[in-house]
Chain A
Amino acid sequence: MFYWIIFIAGFILSLGLTFLVRKYAVSHKIALAIPRERDVHTKPIPRLGGVAIFGAFWLVVGVLLIFYPDKLIFVNNKIGGIDENLCGLFIASAIWLIIGIIDDVRGLPAWVKLVVQFICGAVIVAFGIKIWWLSNPAGGLNIILNYWTYLLVPLWIVLIMNVTNWLDGVDGLSSSISLITLLILFFLSIDPAINQNATAMLCIILAGCILGFLPANWNPAKIFLGDTGSGFLGLMLGTFAIISGAKLATAALVMGIPILDTLIVIIGRLSKKKSIFAADKTHLHHRFLDAGFNPKQTVIILSMISLTFGLLALKLQTQGKMTAFLWLLAIMGILLVGLSFLKKRKGAKNEGR
């Protein structure tokens, strides 16, 4: 029941804040995304949706901290009476909020954003959110990370922040995949074998906030997440996957296709000797659109794949998850071949007209 209340609180607050942010951005003509060649939208749309999600999420967390402080305890260390992990999460997300708003309003070079993403990852690890060990995929003893955690955590955070950012190329895609990931992490956290109630609280609050934002972000979008929102969601997802015990394999399975897509795009750009940040139309969602699917169909298909692997991750043990990763690779291969076939067929038909 308590989970439902905070979920609905996040939903309502986010719905209201999204409306206000959109109204403000449109009336003041700030952070409007003017359509470019690689974009899917055709008219200027405000980009500051992330501000609404950020505001709604931290407002609910703040109220929870005032009235039920015992619900959000991750570690015993406290800073100013607030949980050390939660402080780190707030500071990192506030840093990203500032950079995200500057980027959405005025634009920033990709390298600056990358450096700030690493700083956010460093803040997370500095405030005690670490990966102490990983399950051994071959079975047997767990892999102890020791000092490697100080490198692995920022790298993981940067990866997920970029995945959610690059996913944000079709209306509602990044928010839908993030919503599914959060719900899966929520159900994993409330599993008696895992029992991470504080993590479950954060997951369900953010899920409510995204659901409140989604109607305005669904195709045709009235507002975008912007770099503020996509980065914030990536930061939160990356952190929720490691806070109070690693749930990396589960998060990586739900977001498997977007992660694989990110790696394929990076390899593709490097092989063409282009910058990995050189924007183009080679992402999986672009391939779906080129093949003839519309934005809604693209989001629904990719969400179904994420949900399937998320549910599998809830059911499987470590070795089973390794098999699921192989299935993920196979599905990615089938998608790439199938979409390329449909694109060629569409091109040939158009030429024949």
Chain B
Amino acid sequence: MKEDNHKKLVKFVFWAMIVIFILGMAVFPYLN
């Protein structure tokens, strides 16, 4: 059960990184 929590945290970190990357790519063309 406790390890499931860790898996969930890792999964959350992974998807957070994906979202940050996609947002970064979305604003990238407007960077100076």
Residues of A at under 8 Å CB distance from B?
291-293, 297, 300-301, 304, 308, 311, 315, 338, 342, 345-346, 349-350, 352-353
Contacts and interface: CB of A to CB of B under 8 A. Distances in A.
- Give 6 closest A-B pairs by Cβ, nearest first: A292-B10, A349-B2, A304-B21, A297-B14, A346-B6, A349-B6
Nearest to B32: A315
B14 A293 contact: yes
A291 B14 CA distance: 12
Contacts of A350: 3
Interface string B5-32: 1110110011001100100100010010
B21 A291 contact: no
Nearest to A297: B14
B15 to A, nearest CB: 10
Contacts of B31: 315
Contacts of B17: 301, 304
Contact of A352 (B2, B13, B14): B2
A315 B25 CA distance: 13
Contacts of A291: 10
Given A304-B18, A315-B31, A349 B3 contact: yes
A338 B18 CA distance: 16
Contacts of A345: 6, 9
Residues of B contacting A: mostly: helix
A353 to B, nearest CB: 6
B19 to A, nearest CB: 11
Nearest to A338: B13
7 contacts: A292-B7, A338-B13, A342-B6, A342-B9, A342-B13, A349-B5, A353-B2
Contacts of B21: 304, 308
Nearest to A349: B2
Nearest to B5: A349
Contacts of A301: 14, 17
Contacts of B6: 292, 342, 345-346, 349
A327 to B, nearest CB: 12
Contacts of B7: 292
A139 to B, nearest CB: 19
Contacts of A338: 13
A18 to B, nearest CB: 28
A345 B12 CA distance: 15
A291 B12 CA distance: 13
A229 B10 CA distance: 31
Nearest to A352: B2
A322 to B, nearest CB: 17
A315 B2 CA distance: 45
A293 B28 contact: no
A353 B3 contact: yes
A13 B7 CA distance: 40
Nearest to A296: B14
A345 to B, nearest CB: 6
Nearest to A346: B6
Contacts of B14: 293, 297, 300-301
Contacts of A293: 10, 14
Contacts of A352: 2
A345 B8 CA distance: 13
Nearest to B24: A308
